[in-house]
Amino acid sequence: MAKANKIKIGKVRIDSPTALAPMAGINNATFRYFCKKYGCGLIYSPMIHCEALIHNKDHVLEKLAFSKDERPLVIQLIGHKAESFPKAAKIIEKYADIIDINFGCPDDKIIESKAGSWYLDHLDKMKKVVNALTSATKLPVTVKIRTGFSRNKTEEIIKVLNECNIAAITIHARTAKQKYSGKPCYDEIKKAKEISIVPIIANGDIDDNNMQEVLEYTKADMVMIGRKAIGNPFIFGNQKVNPKKFIKEFFEEYLRREKVYKVDELRQHLCWISCNFEGAAKLRSEIMNCKTIDEIAICIKNNT
């Protein structure tokens, strides 16, 4: 576990130098709750499309099921129209402590829509988006980037962002072209920290085994954990939890917290948790065959 290192992003105080990455399709209300419970300092919402939020507000907010006990909360927005960010921000301001802009998503469809990491090669457009949002909200605005689109150009990006009124920068230590392959280049985060005028959050293949090393090497203010936390929210506190008991606890909390039940989403989370105990493979198989919430409840009752 990373050593205590209280920092501030804008006026938001953070008690632990760890953040949960804004993973679409994963960061439901239940998962966010457990990451917070087990020691995560800064919770991120899943990536939210500005246009979807603007045109289908009630459905999007119901699905996200924000709660006070996960705060401080960062709500991340993604989009391709600068004018959409202020509109989306007005909808989510009351739920958020910080608003983050996604300039790093490497998904091909996102890039084709001129959003996410597309901006890494269009820094004038990036600056326009940031200025549009920071002018429209009093909340701290942060950004999440990669080291570049097809080549590393972190310093060039940071210099542009230094001209904007942002409160922090998260850097995934790969280019967009790399997606999630190859070794992360923490040297780029170290370079960014040397010239950035705001806190830096290091991201990319970080877990409880290397987070302190990454913090010390890059001099970053915080680390962000994504894929390594899936099925393992206790990573933030380096705690050992009985997975069979946690399956039941996760299911019960899911029923309490989620406003929209999704069987496929719940099955996937339970399968991620179901590992490292006798009978885990059998339980995963049974869970995946469940078609309803009631069937999942019976399966858990019979196996935990």
- Is 2 domain-assigned? no
How many separate domains does the chain show?
Answer: 2
Do 170 and 257 share a domain, yes or no?
Answer: no
Task: Please check whether residue 267 lies inside any domain of the structure.
Answer: yes
What's the confidence (pLDDT) of residue 233? 95
SS3 at position 256: helix
Q: What angle do CA 299, 235, 63 make, to 5 degrees?
A: 60
Q: Give a yes or no: residue 286 inside a domain.
A: yes
pLDDT digits (tens, 9 = 90+) for 267-294: 999 999 998 888 899 999 999 999 999 9
1, part of any domain: no
Report the C-alpha gap between 202 and 185 in whole angstroms. 11
Question: According to the model, what pLDDT value does residue 279 have?
Answer: 87
- Find the domain containing 175 and state its range: 7-236
Same domain flag for 208 and 126: yes
255 and 232 in a common domain: no
122 with 254, same domain: the answer is: no
The pLDDT value recorded for residue 97 is 98
**Do 158 and 258 fall within a single domain?**
no
What is the C-alpha end-to-end distance of the chain, expressed in Å?
29
Residues 45, 116, single domain; the answer is yes
Which is nearest to 190 in space by CA: 142, 146, 164, 155?
A: 155
Render pLDDT for 131-152 as a digit per residue (tens, 0 to 9): 999 999 999 999 999 999 999 9
Looking up tokens 């600068």 gives 82
Is residue 103 domain-shared with residue 129, that is, in the same domain? yes
Specify the pLDDT at position 28.
97
185 classed as catalytic: no
C-alpha radius of gyration, the chain, whole number: 19
Q: Which entry of 105, 185, 290, 299 is annotated as an active-site residue? A: 105
Positions of the chain with pLDDT lower than 70, given as ranges: 1-5
Residues 291, 144 share a domain? no
Domain identity same for 206 and 221: yes
Q: Is residue 82 part of a domain?
A: yes
The pLDDT score that the predictor gives to residue 277 is: 86
Indicate which CATH number applies to the domain containing 40: 3.20.20.70
Domain annotation covers residue 252: yes
